[in-house]
Structure 1
Amino acid sequence: MNYTTQMDAAKKGIITREMNIVARKEGMEAEKLRELIAEGKVVIPANKNHKSLNPEGIGEGLRTKINVNLGISKDCCSIEKELEKVRVAIEMKAEAIMDLSNYGKTENMRKRVIDMSTAMLGTVPMYDAIGFCDKELKDITVDEFFEVVEKHGQDGVDFITIHAGLNRETATAVKNNPRLTQIVSRGGSLLFAWMELNNRENPFYEYYDRLLDICEKYDITISLGDACRPGSLKDATDPAQIKELITLGELTKKAWERNVQVMIEGPGHMALNEIKANMLLEKKLCHGAPFYVLGPLVTDVAPGYDHITAAIGGTVAASSGADFLCYVTPAEHLRLPSLEDMKEGIIAFKIAAHAADIAKGIKGAVEWDNAMSKARADLDWETMFDLAIDGEKARRYRMESSPEDPETCTMCGKMCSMRTMKKILNNEDLNIK
């Protein structure tokens, strides 16, 4: 039986190769996974032209996944440095990479990432439009916007962020409800500017069926972008954000009618006490579609440490229903991240995702922690390093400060509680002096 997309196959009762791979990774019955994909509650972003892909699932009942943003800008345009980030991100087992290159002709960078990446790849075609068309934003035509999307599909991009919910009504809500930080979404601000400069409707909203044609053709997952995500605590859960979310729910159902897979993007900056309610709102208004969040950042006053503020919010968000976390690095709001910034962001969000998976009861999550605790009780340092999220750093810290007793560390020495209990319970000589 033929099928066009993973969702089309799922609705027809077909378990695809990608579904079988994801089911094995998640420890889930393939039939259960197929049902969730058919309902739109799980997506497997897998462009037909991404031949190196090792597929992953995102959504209900699955491990929380993380995404790594990278890409060139006009001020930092070394493709080789960004490709090194890709290599390291894959080594660190990030499930997704977004190439957010926004300078010049981005095709070369994008194709090289797709060729080498086993992780799913996302892009924001709007970032590419000016370089692709080689003209000012206001002069880009509707046809040219869709030509960019088609090109990304041809190249093998697995999911694309499209700010289709920023229609004229939502734009009016932005203007009628002034914000402290206005529209902080880069793609959203560009679309808002195009709409205002041309006095036109958002082409991705007005000609949404045309977008669905392209996505169905290549099996691209639409990541419905939140142009009105809050860029400050003050702007969270305001009329523009909620108006756009309602529209995204309507667009989700239209995509599902065409068997196009959908994720919903979310905030942003948000006080800790608002996160849980926002996760509930998204799941209700967008019919259980997987939720992809940036952070949320729970305070605005920690530049240089925003990987921490965002990981705190990401943990709460994922434990409350978010399925996919876009990492944030220490360089957020300050500069293009370095390789070391990227590493810190990945580790912070791997911790956030795993902590949330424990809270959600994801299969195998707490068992990992139990194995680490047993290794600690046994003073089995090698097993601890093997189980650590960042075993290299754990090993380095221990080696930098060697204890007198090799079983212990330099914090407690022979007064180590683990050592004491192990020896007493084994009827061994304690020998603390």
Structure 2
Amino acid sequence: MTQLEAARLGKPTSEMLYVAEQEMVNLETVIEKIAQGKAVIPRNKNHKSLTRPVIIGEGFSVKVNANIGTSIVYSNIDEELRKLQVALHYGTDTVMVLSTGGDIKRCREIILENSPVPVGSVPIYDTAVKSVQLGKKVIDFSEKDFIDLIKEHAETGIDFMTIHAGITMRTLNLIKNSKRIMKIVSRGGSIIAGWMIANEKENPLYTHFDEILEIAKEYDVTLSLGDGLRPGAVLDASDTLQFSELFVLAELAERANEAGVQVMIEGPGHVPLNEIEMNVKLMKKITKGRPIFLLGPLPTDRGVGYDHLVASIGGALAAYYGTDFLCYVTPAEHLCLPDVEDVKEGVIASKIAATIADVAKGNKKALMLEEKMASARANFDWESMFKYAIAGDVARKKWETRRYDEEGCSMCGPFCAIKITKEYVENAERLVDQHNKS
């Protein structure tokens, strides 16, 4: 029985009980949102090391995903494990293994064995990699190869997987007259489109969607419906290609939920700031409130080298307007395979975005943590400040570089506003109170 099926029967699972406690909400809310398809708990029954399930969707805290994985240019499984540990240390809620080089199956298995949080993947990458390793073209594989790899990922324990089933012949034909600067930037989307053109056939992930649903239901894999035609430049955002695919994804989401399969909808990566609200609200409207998973989004294409900061700005706004799940972006985006430090910076930036949105939306847990941080600052309680900071060890290291031995920090020293307020204003208030009582 899947999480969705259990929720519809009103039967709480251990995962539902766990996330209700973590989110500080009642169990009934969790069950209701999952039953409605407005929230998901990615949890493959074969992922034995998963001890920290999360709920993604309407009414819950914004979640963050970190992408890790090898490339055909650079592959080191030990480094991928270090990336996983760093991502977990700085608070990622999930990870996706997007390997395209080396022993990709072994890399995926090792990450699953060591990850206490849900793990996602994109099976089509494996299909393309296998073709290249056999000396073929990227798109030289059969429809059966697609399904076999999806089955393999599910059996291994993958909790959620991106399926690029929204590119159909109709949407693909729209590219011919498209004025996009960058036609297709999705790696999975380009592989599917190339296969369709070369074979003159409909998208096999679309035509075999019922078979995919059977696999997903068997293992309770959450399907993340990929936006293969997402805009890859802010000037390409919100066009016919993007929204045509979205309507197909909405149709597939309905079919998935009807089959008892949990589903999320992936969204655009490059969107101008003034179009983010419209994009998120339109996605929610068209997909009937289902969980939205956005890459970034990035409101400028010119922040190369600092795209984690660009994505944090876009992500905070997108999450405030209803995005449920943010895929992090690292400083290496558009440049190279991220290293461990890139993963660290990417997670921190995305967690900041998620936190900003949670606070603005009045999330109970987020506001509680803000109150604790404010109290710590007011009392010069450095240990508590580091405890409640998003990246406390980074803050501590910065503080220790130019430490001030008295109350306050080395920025203001004796001119600290909080210290002066305590000595004069608050003391004066106490004297007035004592005078009034006497």
TM-score range, shorter chain: over 0.9
CA distance in 1, matches of 2:337, 2:258: 39
- Residue 105 to residue 175, structure 1, CA distance change in 2 (3 Å): farther
**Does 2:106 align with 1:108?**
yes
CA distance in 1, matches of 2:130, 2:362: 45
- The residue that corresponds to 2:156 in the other structure is 155
- The residue that corresponds to 1:419 in the other structure is 419
Task: Tell me which amino acid in the other structure corresponds to 2:379.
Answer: D
Does the CA-based 8 Å contact 1:385-1:391 persist in structure 2?
A: yes
Which structure 2 segments of 5+ residues have no match? 429-438
CA distance in 2, matches of 1:83, 1:227: 28
- Residue 231 to residue 425, structure 1, CA distance change in 2 (3 Å): same
Task: Tell me which amino acid in the other structure corresponds to 2:157.
Answer: G
Secondary structure of the residue aligned to 1:45 is coil
- The residue that corresponds to 2:287 in the other structure is 286
CA distance in 2, matches of 1:322, 1:341: 24
**Does 2:8 align with 1:29?**
no
Cα drift, residue 263 of structure 1: 0.3
Which is worse superposed, 135-144 or 252-261?
135-144
Secondary structure of the residue aligned to 1:264 is strand
CA distance in 1, matches of 2:426, 2:180: 65
- The residue that corresponds to 1:240 in the other structure is 241
Q: Deviations over 1:226-249 (max 9, x none)?
A: 011110011100000000001110
- The residue that corresponds to 2:407 in the other structure is 407
Task: Tell me which amino acid in the other structure corresponds to 2:224.
Answer: S
Task: Tell me which amino acid in the other structure corresponds to 2:273.
Answer: L
TM-score normalised over the length of structure 2: 0.95
**Does 2:334 align with 1:333?**
yes
**Percent of aligned pairs with the same residue?**
47
- The residue that corresponds to 1:322 in the other structure is 323
Cα drift, residue 218 of structure 1: 0.7
Secondary structure of the residue aligned to 2:293 is strand
Number of matched residues?
424
CA distance in 2, matches of 1:132, 1:105: 10
- Residue 341 to residue 93, structure 1, CA distance change in 2 (3 Å): same
- The residue that corresponds to 1:431 in the other structure is none
Task: Tell me which amino acid in the other structure corresponds to 2:279.
Answer: N
Secondary structure of the residue aligned to 2:322 is coil
Q: Of 14, 19, 26, which residue of structure 1 is paired with 2:11?
A: 14
Q: Flag as ranges the 4+ runs of structure 1 deviating above 6 A.
A: none
CA distance in 2, matches of 1:348, 1:425: 37
Secondary structure of the residue aligned to 1:68 is strand
Task: Tell me which amino acid in the other structure corresponds to 1:423.
Answer: E
Secondary structure of the residue aligned to 2:351 is helix
Cα drift, residue 136 of structure 1: 3.1
Does the CA-based 8 Å contact 2:66-2:95 persist in structure 1?
A: yes
CA distance in 2, matches of 1:390, 1:207: 44
CA distance in 1, matches of 2:414, 2:319: 40
Does the CA-based 8 Å contact 1:174-1:240 persist in structure 2?
A: yes
Which structure 1 segments of 5+ residues have no match? 429-433
Q: Deviations over 1:69-99 (max 9, x none)?
A: 0100011111111111112212222110000
Task: Tell me which amino acid in the other structure corresponds to 2:25.
Answer: M
Q: Deviations over 1:329-370 (max 9, x none)?
A: 011000011111110111101100000001122112122112
Task: Tell me which amino acid in the other structure corresponds to 1:14.
Answer: K
Counterparts of 1:203-282 in structure 2 under 5 Å? 203-282=204-283
CA distance in 1, matches of 2:293, 2:85: 23
- The residue that corresponds to 1:97 in the other structure is 95
Secondary structure of the residue aligned to 1:259 is coil
CA distance in 2, matches of 1:55, 1:391: 23
CA distance in 1, matches of 2:260, 2:62: 24
Does the CA-based 8 Å contact 1:105-1:128 persist in structure 2?
A: no
Cα drift, residue 104 of structure 1: 4.4
- The residue that corresponds to 2:433 in the other structure is none
**Does 2:175 align with 1:171?**
no
Does the CA-based 8 Å contact 2:90-2:390 persist in structure 1?
A: no
How well do the aligned residues superpose, as a CA RMSD in angstroms? 1.2
